[in-house]
Amino acid sequence: MTKRTVSRHIDEELNEQMVTWLSLREAKNRKRVLYAKAVGLEEISLGDLRMECLKLNYEGVYGYLPRNKIDDYEFKGLHNFMGKTFEFVVETLITEPDEQVGTFVANRIEALKLSANRFWNNAQVGEIYEAFIRGIDPYHLYILVEGVQVKLHRSEVGYSLYDDLREVYSIGDSIEVKILELGKPNEENSEGTLQVSAKILNQDPWDNIGNYKERMFYLAELKRIHPVHGMFLELEPGLSVLTYFPAGTRGRKFKPGDELEVKIKTIDVEKREIFGTIVLPRNKIGANNPSFRNSGIRRGNRG
């Protein structure tokens, strides 16, 4: 590659960055919401404060999203946000005296407010949105739907049995949800009402119940153990069987993830309930069975 070619590439890159820089300046003046990917995590000085920031790449121009401008939710760490895309508004443009293209400081909290206003003005029941997971506990996902905060119970996350949602999802993940109920903010309810579901977007596993029959035997995965109710197993995601603790286990310890044989006792389609019993192997077949080893009926020992 000649020096002239290298110089041309540099000029083209600078021209592209200049175009991006001008679009950032226009977006700042118009308070337009932009989107950029988090590509780094740095600690930088902003005024008198030194703060942890996500480093954003907006079309080849880098900027910083300070920790206190990401959300009003208290995050324990920012590493889960690496590689995620964030909405933001440009709060500050920074250039050195001899630079044409500088860096920017982003504000996501303000962008979420703008997105929420737009959402309330345009959203309709039945529409599908991509939600951002901002918090998780064993029973709920705390999500943002276009800037609107929603608490999603695990019963509306999916058909599967979720013992702890933290084992399935991470902060910064996205999940598609469908609007079930919508009430715009008013004088009586300044925050509005929004109910959504992710489960409704998945096929109902009870559509497959015809694949299973009462008094028949199937393999199922142990999902949850309850000291009072018994053991919950899944034939397939969303089709759960409740069984009592099997008798005569002699201290055997079961754990989630175990694959067990289940005999289905009853299937109640109307109540969407399946009851069964766990079948434990009582007699091993083959040379590993002690009674077989002592019987004298082994190859080459038939009398």
Q: How far is CA 77 from the centre of its chain?
A: 17
Please list, in sequence order, all residues whose beta carbon lies within 8 angstroms of the beta carbon of residue 87, skipping any fewer than 6 positions away: 33, 34, 35, 108, 111, 112, 115, 147
pLDDT value at residue 295: 44
pLDDT value at residue 162: 84
The token pair at 13 is 């890159």
Note the pTM of the prediction, 2 decimals: 0.75
Residue limits of CATH 2.40.50.140 in the chain: 3-108, 123-201, 205-279
Which one is the CATH code of 3-108: 2.60.40.10, 2.40.50.140, 1.20.1740.10, 2.40.30.10?
Answer: 2.40.50.140
pLDDT value at residue 81: 92
pLDDT value at residue 225: 87
pLDDT digits (tens, 9 = 90+) for 26-74: 999 999 999 999 999 999 887 778 889 999 999 999 999 999 999 988 7
Terminal-residue alpha carbon distance, the chain: 88
pLDDT value at residue 12: 57
- Residue 230 burial by Cβ neighbours in a 10 Å radius (0-12, 13-18, 19+): middle
123-201: CATH superfamily: Nucleic acid-binding proteins (2.40.50.140)
Tokens 């440009």 belong to: 90
Question: Which residue stretches of the chain have pLDDT < 50?
Answer: 3, 6, 10, 251, 283-287, 291-303
User: In DSSP terms, which residues pair with 91 in a beta bridge?
Assistant: none
- 3 state SS for the chain: CCHHHHHHHHHHHHHHHHHHHHHHHHHHHHCCCEEEEEEEEEEEEECCEEEEEEEEEECCEEEEEEHHHCCCCCCCCCHHHCCCEEEEEEEEEECCCCCCCCEEEEEHHHHHHHHHHHHHHHCCCCCEEEEEEEEECCCEEEEEECCEEEEEEHHHCCCCCCCCHHHCCCCCCEEEEEEEEEECCCCCCCCCEEEEECHHHCCCHHHHHHHCCCCCEEEEEEEEEECCCEEEEEEECCEEEEECCCCCCCCCCCCCCCEEEEEEEEEECCCCEEEEEEECCCCCCCCCCHHHHCCCCCCCCCC
pLDDT value at residue 298: 45
State which fold the 205-279 domain adopts.
Answer: OB fold (Dihydrolipoamide Acetyltransferase, E2P) (2.40.50)
